[in-house]
Structure 1
Amino acid sequence: MAATSHHSFADRVGSAPSSTSCGPARELEHRRSELTADSVVVFGNGAFQRLLLAFAQVAIFVSKAQTSVQMLTAKSFRYWCRAPSEYSYMSTAKWFHSGIPQRPDGSYSHCTRYERPRVLGSEPSFSEVPCQHWYYNLTADGYTAVEEWDLVCDRVWLLEIANAVFMCGSVVCVPIMGLASDRYGRRPVLYASVAVLYGSSVFQCFTTSLSTYVGLGFLLLASCSVLELTTSILLFESTPIVTREEFVALAVCVPTALAPVYRSAVGLFADQWRTMHLAVAAPSLLLIIVVYLTGESLDWLIACGKFEEAERAALWAAELNHEEPDHVKERLAAFTSGGPLGSGRLLRPGRPGFHALFSGPRRYVFFATFACWFTSYIGRFSLPFDQVGVQIGEFKWTGFVLNLLGMTSSYFITKGCGYFGPLVVSSLLCASAVAAQLILSVYHMLVLSVWALTVSFVFFNMTYVFLCIHTVEIFPTRMRSMGFAFSYMCGSLGAVTAALVQHMERMLPHSLKLLPRGLSSLAIACCYLGLFLVPTNVKEESTDGLKEAALGRKRSSSHISLSDDTERRRAAMRFGDDFAAPKGSERDAGVPRV
């Protein structure tokens, strides 16, 4: 794990901006907010990092798979009224043709039946009455919770309430657990999340009450979201600086590509929703094993001044990486003593609250990041999959292949040229794909519209990968979980807003139906361009740059500029090389040669 001094937290969060600029100053802004010495200096790099990578991948995989089966959707299956008990002797086909009203367009009613069956070949002479129970012509997804509790017709509002409650799990619980992670540590939050995830997923499979099902789903999705964020943060804080972006990208890309395939494969064999939920919950057993083997974040322990616990965590990780304990203790003692800047006077910072996200020199970057999460989720969850249900089903496996290619590209793009430029480009591609889908739907080009919809889905997934890396990187260690959680909460609010966008499209006249999604497409482009152009505090960032350069630290590989090298040289001349990396290890420690 990487270690970090906590001089810079008070400087970055507590001070007011003195000047702002944009353009060239972005090179100073887009870097790591709490850059640390390379982990190889403290306890080595090897099996421990690979364990955390596997932990993050399994956690994100479980989160994606659980979300896909948990969010109830009104599928395009056929359903009609079930015959009352007095007509139970009639066959299904006979009841369908004699008891179900037929509309002028040839379709049959889903929500009403004749009070008494009509004689075949004659005109109906009885009034229509609402259905009490339904028959379902099940699709490939099998028997779901929609059929279990008849969430159709006049009961469809229960379906919408259930989806809203599920989303509230992320809105309500994730920020609270993010704050707890920054105050009490990553590991306690991981233990609690795994316990809640496994318990709620198992109990939900055997519930017979809709209210209990929804309540357990609330806890399940909340714990999935917390696990997804916390494991990404722990991985980021425990890997070498030069490979942090690659590790996080790999942790997100692999499960994002495989989870939809696993979900669909399970759906082919599981004809009951309970069986499907158990199959999706099975990978969570791995989390119980892996969470026991992981340690606390060394970055967070040192930032909080918990040096004894930091030593225990470093020795545990060093044992997995086959490092000598004495060497690890010496390295850790040399670092926690403060080096030439600290001289043993490392002060424990105060406990930041959510107010820290809205103050300090980086508040504009934080605002822009929150807006990007919000607009991205609006665009992603307002995609009209229900309008092209049958056609999108035919493109399902094509979409999986395109998604796999997109995730593979995201990883290698991050590895080759960083994340920030691709983040802006992919977001603009998202906005363009949504706009193209709107235009094609106007001209009723259904096949091309489905292709545009599939491509939009892939672009949104790619943007999610880059946005996760950006979000976990911009926040200091002592508020990283809180910042990431608040960003995720903004995304969840965007998903709820997407439901309102779809409702507006149904209510508006035909000439204005495209307006809501058109505005959301424009908002996506504006927010991500704003993230690129948002002003930052040059004076404050330059001061932090000198402090980090004196410790031999490295800025983000995506955003190194000529001024960075100049500041590093000046700092080396001023403070000397007592705390610099050993000769010949510049590449390992992530410090460019100067």
Structure 2
Amino acid sequence: MPFFSLGGSFLNAPVDHWCAAPEHNPSHLHNLPRADQEGLSARGAQCTHIHRNTSVLSGIDLATLGGDILTDGAMLMPCKRWNYDTTTFSTTVTMEWDLVCSRAWLSPLFVSAYFIGTIIGDPLMGTLADRFGRRLVLQWCSIVFVVASVTSALASQYPLVLAGRFILGLIHAAGCGVTYVRAMEMCPSQYHTVIGLLLLVPFAVAGMLLGGLAYFIREWRLLQLCATAPAALGLLMLPWVFESPRWLMLQGRVDEAAEVLHKAARWQKVADFPSKVDLTSMLTTMRKQATSQLSLNSRSSSSSSSGLFGDLISLVGNRTMRRITLPMFAVWFCIGFAFWGMSLGGSVFGDDPFLYIVLTAGMEVPGYTAFNPLISRVGRKVILGSNFAICAAAIFGILIVPQEYSFILAMVGKLFITGCYNIVYLQASELFPTCVRSTGLNLSSLCARLASLLASLTVALMSGVAWWVPSMVFGICSTAGCFFTLLLPESKGMPLTDTFAEHELLYGSDRSEDDSTYNSTIEDEEACNNVQTTQKYCV
């Protein structure tokens, strides 16, 4: 996925351009100095050239004429052809379709189409996975991903390239969200934190590999085809991608769930695993308990409305929920905006785009792992707010330090904004009650997706206004994120709530900060979420 979400930095990198000599100029213009051939007396012009009738000068050595004659009777005309600086990149999307000057607005769509796809794909893929299963969605998405990537790499029309990028963005949600959910459902609860980190770290590693791959491959079509290779190889693993036993159980397909668990037990050489008959009986009992709990939560959370609309209303239905939902959405937006702004800002914050991607992706590894001990001891709110503040300070520092130090500050900003991403996933899952937790997380993620789209446009468009504008915008957003964090309650040590009644009791405004009545009656979050002994094989 990072090969494509970050790939726009190389596939459609910004390059210098200038007007090429008009094709109708007579061949004797080869006598002009090279600089005048490129600019036609408007040296360095990017969108216009000076046009005049040169037929009257036929047979005259133009190199011997003074500069004045080159502008006499001139007419300013828009360029029809361009030359590009190929020092760093041999070909890019912009070069191939001349997405400059009057067509420059089409260039940012290459990156934006991908992020628009992620915005739509988040709720779409989640719904499809809940209805048709995680395995089926992942299998079809893997196939479509490879086809769309190859098609867009070979397309001869720019709209086809954009369509391919949009489809790749749609499937990005399956590669992230559905894969994450499936992994959480197929491992014991005590390994959720470790598995979550193991799923995030490969994204950082892939980002570093992308920088190295792009360094050796400077042609955009070949680079995209090579970036597709890991996904194509992944198709070979599809026969070994099994359905989530938990999803099968909830769908009433307990026999299939038992079969998947038995296969896993054989591979892991578990000696004391229950027989298929006993396991089927356990799963049937668990399904009855799960459906009963889901029905209870549904009744408690839908007094006046039901379904998705009811969940949306419930997220802002009372003061306590509004105090959590609105700042949470704002925090996710600020994180997504700053994170993707720093990730895609190689042309703004660094001189070497390849090294920039490698190092910023490398910053994600400690960003995902280094703050976990701190949030367990200090709390989510303090560390999240501190990360925002340090990120903002680093970005604002870029505006005042010498240019050679701006690269270092960009790395610091990326490190701490990545830490914010890791923390807010945990905090959101703790602050939303079970009955609307999935909806709350999906809408929070949607806010971050919207921010990623705006971040890509900010990098592409605002950097052309002035070099300092993107840094100022991202710094202000990080500062705002710090203040929004202060509005959220602390969730460290708090049990997960299932219903709105429990949520109001725990986080309601009537509860004083030093009131421990509720905490004393409930054990910490692990105990609050314990499962029956029979669940140890399939949680």
> Above 0.5 in TM-score?
yes
Identity across matched positions, percent: 20
CA contact (8 A) 2:254 2:283 kept: no
Match runs of 1:409-428 below 5 Å? 410-411=368-369, 413-414=371-372, 418=376, 421=379, 425-426=383-384, 428=386
CA-CA distance at 1:282 after TM superposition: 0.4
Residue 434 of structure 1: aligned partner: 392
Q: Which has the higher contact order (CA 8 A, sep 6+)?
A: 1
Work out the CA distance in 2 between the residues paired with 1:510 and 1:220.
31
Structure 2: runs of 5+ lacking an equivalent = 299-305, 504-518
Match runs of 1:153-552 below 5 Å? 153-256=101-204, 258-323=205-270, 326-327=274-275, 329-331=277-279, 333-334=281-282, 336-338=284-286, 342=289, 352-353=307-308, 355-359=310-314, 365=324, 367-383=326-342, 389=347, 392-394=350-352, 397=355, 400-401=358-359, 403-404=361-362, 406-408=364-366, 410-411=368-369, 413-414=371-372, 418=376, 421=379, 425-426=383-384, 428-441=386-399, 443=400, 445-468=402-425, 484-498=441-455, 516-533=473-490, 540=499
Counterpart of 1:80 (choices 18, 41, 49) is: 18
**CA offset digits 1:67-117 (Å, max 9, x no partner):** 1224688745322122222348456994542451667xxx71111222148
For residue 337 of structure 1, give the secondary structure of its aligned residue in structure 2.
Answer: helix
Work out the CA distance in 2 between the residues paired with 1:444 and 1:102.
38
TM-score normalised by the chain length of structure 1:
0.70
- With over 3 angstroms needed to count, the CA separation of the structure-2 counterparts of 1:215 and 1:180, relative to structure 1, is same
**CA offset digits 1:115-167 (Å, max 9, x no partner):** 14894541222222111111112142331111110111111011134433332
Work out the CA distance in 2 between the residues paired with 1:453 and 1:373.
20
**CA offset digits 1:158-196 (Å, max 9, x no partner):** 113443333211122321121222222212221221121
Kindly provide the amino acid, as one letter, of the partner of residue 271 in structure 1.
Answer: R
Residue 302 of structure 2: aligned partner: none
Counterpart of 2:39 (choices 88, 96, 100) is: 100
CA contact (8 A) 1:428 1:524 kept: no
- With over 3 angstroms needed to count, the CA separation of the structure-2 counterparts of 1:569 and 1:197, relative to structure 1, is closer
Q: How many residues align?
A: 497
- With over 3 angstroms needed to count, the CA separation of the structure-2 counterparts of 1:72 and 1:86, relative to structure 1, is same
- With over 3 angstroms needed to count, the CA separation of the structure-2 counterparts of 1:494 and 1:438, relative to structure 1, is same
**CA offset digits 1:249-292 (Å, max 9, x no partner):** 12102321x22222222222223211000110000023213333
Residue 109 of structure 1: aligned partner: 45
Root-mean-square deviation (CA, aligned residues, Å) is: 4.6
CA-CA distance at 1:507 after TM superposition: 11
CA-CA distance at 1:462 after TM superposition: 3.0
TM-score normalised by the chain length of structure 2:
0.76
For residue 80 of structure 1, give the secondary structure of its aligned residue in structure 2.
Answer: strand
Counterpart of 1:122 (choices 67, 76, 93) is: 67
Residue 548 of structure 1: aligned partner: none
Kindly provide the amino acid, as one letter, of the partner of residue 370 in structure 1.
Answer: F
CA-CA distance at 1:532 after TM superposition: 3.7
Work out the CA distance in 2 between the residues paired with 1:93 and 1:169.
49
For residue 108 of structure 1, give the secondary structure of its aligned residue in structure 2.
Answer: coil
Work out the CA distance in 1 between the residues paired with 2:332 and 2:232.
30
Residue 26 of structure 1: aligned partner: none
Work out the CA distance in 1 between the residues paired with 2:219 and 2:26.
25
CA contact (8 A) 1:428 1:525 kept: yes
For residue 208 of structure 1, give the secondary structure of its aligned residue in structure 2.
Answer: coil
CA-CA distance at 1:401 after TM superposition: 4.5
Work out the CA distance in 1 between the residues paired with 2:226 and 2:290.
55
- With over 3 angstroms needed to count, the CA separation of the structure-2 counterparts of 1:88 and 1:145, relative to structure 1, is farther
Kindly provide the amino acid, as one letter, of the partner of residue 83 in structure 1.
Answer: A
Residue 509 of structure 2: aligned partner: none
Kindly provide the amino acid, as one letter, of the partner of residue 211 in structure 1.
Answer: P
Quick check: 175-184 or 425-434, which moved more? 425-434
**CA offset digits 1:317-367 (Å, max 9, x no partner):** 33333336644652452354259x959978878795364254279955555
Kindly provide the amino acid, as one letter, of the partner of residue 112 in structure 1.
Answer: T
Kindly provide the amino acid, as one letter, of the partner of residue 79 in structure 1.
Answer: H
- With over 3 angstroms needed to count, the CA separation of the structure-2 counterparts of 1:241 and 1:374, relative to structure 1, is same
CA-CA distance at 1:239 after TM superposition: 1.4
Work out the CA distance in 2 between the residues paired with 1:317 and 1:415.
31
- With over 3 angstroms needed to count, the CA separation of the structure-2 counterparts of 1:530 and 1:400, relative to structure 1, is farther
CA contact (8 A) 2:111 2:456 kept: no
- With over 3 angstroms needed to count, the CA separation of the structure-2 counterparts of 1:389 and 1:506, relative to structure 1, is closer
For residue 177 of structure 2, give the secondary structure of its aligned residue in structure 1.
Answer: helix
Is 1:65 matched with 2:3? yes
CA contact (8 A) 1:295 1:317 kept: no
CA-CA distance at 1:221 after TM superposition: 1.8
CA contact (8 A) 1:371 1:527 kept: yes
- With over 3 angstroms needed to count, the CA separation of the structure-2 counterparts of 1:512 and 1:335, relative to structure 1, is closer
Work out the CA distance in 1 between the residues paired with 2:411 and 2:462.
20
Work out the CA distance in 1 between the residues paired with 2:67 and 2:19.
20
CA contact (8 A) 1:80 1:109 kept: yes
Structure 1: runs of 5+ lacking an equivalent = 1-62, 545-560
Kindly provide the amino acid, as one letter, of the partner of residue 258 in structure 2.
Answer: E
Kindly provide the amino acid, as one letter, of the partner of residue 220 in structure 1.
Answer: L
Work out the CA distance in 1 between the residues paired with 2:290 and 2:37.
90
CA contact (8 A) 1:338 1:345 kept: no
CA contact (8 A) 2:458 2:470 kept: no
Work out the CA distance in 2 between the residues paired with 1:541 and 1:414.
28
Residue 301 of structure 2: aligned partner: none
Work out the CA distance in 2 between the residues paired with 1:568 and 1:225.
29
Match runs of 1:124-139 below 5 Å? 124-125=71-72, 126-139=74-87
CA contact (8 A) 2:395 2:471 kept: no
Kindly provide the amino acid, as one letter, of the partner of residue 353 in structure 1.
Answer: L
- With over 3 angstroms needed to count, the CA separation of the structure-2 counterparts of 1:422 and 1:401, relative to structure 1, is farther
Match runs of 1:547-558 below 5 Å? none
For residue 263 of structure 2, give the secondary structure of its aligned residue in structure 1.
Answer: helix
- With over 3 angstroms needed to count, the CA separation of the structure-2 counterparts of 1:509 and 1:194, relative to structure 1, is closer
**CA offset digits 1:28-47 (Å, max 9, x no partner):** xxxxxxxxxxxxxxxxxxxx
